[in-house]
Amino acid sequence: MSEPLRLGIVGLGRAFMLMLPTLAHHPLVRLVAAADPREEARWQFESDFSRADAPARSYDNVEELCADDGVEALYIASPHQFHVAHVRLAATYGKHVLVEKPMALTIADCQAMIEAADAAGVHLLVGHSHSYDAPYLKASELIRSGRFGRARMITASNHTDFLYRPRRPEELDTAQGGGVVFSQGAHQVDIARLLGGGLVSTVRATTGRFDPARPTEGAYQALLVFAEGASATLTYSGYGRYDSDEQLGWIGEMGQRRDPESYGMARRGLVGVSTPEEEAALKNTRTYGVAKNSVAPLSAALGHNHFGPITVCCEQADLRPLASGVMVYADDRRWLEALPAPTVPRAEVVDELYAAIRSGIAPLHSGAWGMATLEVCLAILESARTGREIALQHQVAPG
């Protein structure tokens, strides 16, 4: 068996919890150390990941983790505004990096992160975003094969309860990276760029702030025009009414079975919460070290992760990525390009990181790719603010 990557974790919060099933069960990675200011999270990490011959280590600051000689790579899952400092620190100590999306909050910070990784000779990957998901990678493969001609039009729509899940105050402040454009747009834009060839020329967008009690963007619509003439329309709403998983047979974002009777659950969860402090405390009940069964056995997933209904109109067929594969609609027949069910959720993230570090294979989700996606997200905000179409200059094609 190949030697697993020895991975350290920066930030044992909600992002880490979502990646935990992947990182705990993927055979090509071993969690060896972590940094978090919360004592209960550090204790839980040591309890979950210590072995008789190799105790897991935890630190209350990031620099001590970066200095740990037993760590090869870091998964940086700290809040968005800390990504640039943590990536630069990791590079200083020669650690490879997987940094959560969005990569950063400004293009200048992205450039500083890329420069730091390049100077240190380490790999910098950005994610998880849903463009790692196998159905989207398969759809991209089909497009790039030329079997169905070029992708000409992409339609993506996702409706969730994102804005009504418990939030810390900065998660409702756009200036600090809050709202759906940074946190959810990074997924949807990444997918559209992957399927459309990566090179977005212009963006025209509107955003919605429909609830004064949650004063950040809860929705957006955007038109992306690509360099070769393809276009993509992106719609996202996080206001928790209509749920677009209904169109996907009630298979959820993580490939799990959804209960339609849970309608409105997120909003109901905030009933009785009257202050930002109370809401932050409610969110903390869901974090690592507090939530029960932090590392649970893998349950059988129905299918792969997804990010809502997406259709790609190519010159000779339409493609629809699903949790089970990619539906192909040609002139005279339709069929499913099936994918095997996942054994480890989001395994593609570790696969890409491992291939970069162990085999030197250039990653798709590089720093340059992450910066290009952030540029689109920033353009959505700027276009909505100014009413103008925004031209882009930092775009890259899939490697």
What would be the CATH architecture of the domain defined by 5-129+346-366?
Answer: 3-Layer(aba) Sandwich (3.40)
Answer whether residue 298 shows pLDDT above 80.
Answer: no
DSSP state, residue 161: -
Asked if residue 268 lies in contact with residue 248, where contact means CB atoms within 8 angstroms, the answer is no
The two structure tokens encoding residue 250: 């009630």
* Nearest Cα to Cα of residue 315 among 195, 151, 156: 151
Mean of all residue pLDDT scores within the chain: 96
Q: Residue 333 burial (CB < 10 Å; 0-12/13-18/19+)?
A: exposed
Answer whether residue 361 shows pLDDT above 80.
Answer: yes
Q: Which pLDDT tens digit goes with each residue over 34-93?
A: 999 999 999 999 999 999 999 999 999 999 999 999 999 999 999 999 999 999 999 999
What would be the CATH architecture of the domain defined by 131-295+300-343+376-391?
Answer: 2-Layer Sandwich (3.30)
Asked if residue 371 lies in contact with residue 107, where contact means CB atoms within 8 angstroms, the answer is yes
Q: Where are the domains of the chain?
A: 5-129+346-366, 131-295+300-343+376-391
The two structure tokens encoding residue 285: 């009940």
Quote the pTM value.
0.97
Predicted confidence band at 302 (pLDDT cuts at 50, 70, 90)?
confident
Q: What residues are paired with 328 via a beta bridge? A: 319, 335
* Nearest Cα to Cα of residue 341 among 38, 186, 135: 135
pLDDT of residue 73: 98
Asked if residue 93 lies in contact with residue 68, where contact means CB atoms within 8 angstroms, the answer is no
Q: Do domains 5-129+346-366 and 131-295+300-343+376-391 have the same CATH topology?
A: no
Burial 230-269 (b: 16+ CB within 10 A, else e): bbbebbbbbbbeebbbeebeebbbbbbebeeeeeeebeee
Answer whether residue 1 shows pLDDT above 60.
Answer: no
